[in-house]
Amino acid sequence: MIEPRWIDPASAEWPVRLLHLESPPQGFWQLGTIGALSPSVAIVGSRRATFAGVEIARSIARELGSAGIQVVSGMALGIDAAAHTGALDAGGSTVAVLGCGIDVCYPRRHEGLRSRIVASGSVITEEPAGTPPFKHNFPKRNRIIAALAHAVVVVEATERSGALSTARWAADLGREVLAVPGSIRARQSSGTNLLIRDGVRPFLGIADLLEAVPELRSTVPESALNALPLGSRGGLERFSPPLREILARMGTQPIHPDQVGVALGLSPALVASRLGALELAGAVMSLPGGLVARTV
């Protein structure tokens, strides 16, 4: 059984980016290895994420993990879990910052995910052992998420989402903040759309992130950069098999979603959800008359 270690500013493993905080933690408990000098990007968002949001977060994290960029998040339900999973699925490293004690798995259903994170990255917390996941701990832990990362990508967030707290911490620290745009009718995207309205750079693809943060580009091996879909649309390999199935059925001409559903034996609700994910990722666009068309 792996025992947690106490890491403080005197330790060689102390991440220097935490020193940018006005009130850095006195130390933190750690399981695994954080990789103090690793290029890192935080991916955060709603716990009550949509199918589209989860798919996008997983896809972004998968691309980052493939490029050797560490993914930082908070191990919560929804976007956080998708971010950690995407990085791990790509064989990358990920760091989970907890709002509870190092010996407390919250949420309980993430025991398996927590074990995977520890094996390929790190779980850390400044809270003492046994500390329950008190609500007031999470805004505090968000400052650590923001500080550890070179940039923060907000995938989905309502106007009162804790993910916006991470974005504010990042902005205060001089980190780049990017937000995935969403439908103006989607509550889960109301916060991200407001960020964009107020001047945050829209995230349409990995190219936007690398352009916004040259430091990331300079730390990633050229071979890994060449493997990334640098255009805003990216490559089809970034999508899960169910989404590629939708794209394959759509062909090159505009089509009605009902036709896609009938051809694949899927419900209208499921087709709409998957099309929503593809539209947010820039792979599909809506046309007059209820039609949709591929853009990749």
- CATH code (residue 98): 3.40.50.450
Instruction: Give the number of domains in the chain.
Output: 2
Average pLDDT by consecutive 10-residue portion of the chain (296 residues)? 89 92 95 84 95 90 92 97 97 97 96 96 97 95 97 95 95 95 87 94 86 80 60 56 86 84 91 88 80 80
Q: Determine the 3-state secondary structure of 292 from DSSP.
A: strand
Rounded to whole angstroms, the maximal C-alpha distance in the chain is: 63
Residues 184 and 65 in one domain: yes
101: in domain: yes
Residues 152 and 5: their CA atoms lie apart, in Å, by 27
The answer to the question of residue 232 being in a domain is no
Given this model, what pLDDT does residue 234 score? Answer: 44
Is residue 23 situated within a structural domain? Answer: yes
217 and 280 fall within a common domain: no
Same structural domain, 11 and 131: yes
Instruction: Give the residue carrying structure tokens 């990995």.
Output: 206
For residues 218 and 83, state if they share a domain: yes
The pLDDT, as a whole number, for residue 283 is: 80
Q: Specify whether 248 is located in the same domain as 285.
A: yes
| One domain for residues 223 and 243 | no
Residue 234: inside a domain? no
For residues 102 and 190, membership in a common domain is answered with yes
Q: What's residue 18's pLDDT?
A: 95
Residue where the block lists tokens 């990358």: 92
Residue 101: predicted pLDDT: 97
DSSP string of 24-89, one letter each residue = --S-EEEEE---TTS-EEEEE--SS--HHHHHHHHHHHHHHHHTT-EEEE---TTHHHHHHHHHHH
Polymer length in residues for the chain: 296
Characterize the bridge pairing of strands 94-97 and 40-44: unpaired
Q: Are residues 189 and 250 in the same domain?
A: no
Residues 221 and 271 in one domain: no
Is the distance from CB of 31 to CB of 102 less than 8 angstroms?
yes
Distance CA 86, CA 92 (A): 9
| Beta strands 122-125; 151-154: pairing state | unpaired
Q: What is the pLDDT of residue 35?
A: 75
Same domain, yes or no: 53 and 73: yes
Pair (72, 186) in one structural domain? yes
- Determine, yes or no, domain membership for 11: yes
List, in sequence order, every beta strand (DSSP E) within 120-207.
122-125, 151-154, 176-179, 201-202
Domain span at 214: 5-227
My answer on whether 23 and 70 are in the same domain is yes
Segment holding 113, helix H or strand E: helix 111-120
Beta strands 151-154 and 292-294: pairing type? unpaired
From the number of C-beta atoms within 10 Å of its C-beta (0-12, 13-18, 19+), residue 108 rates as exposed
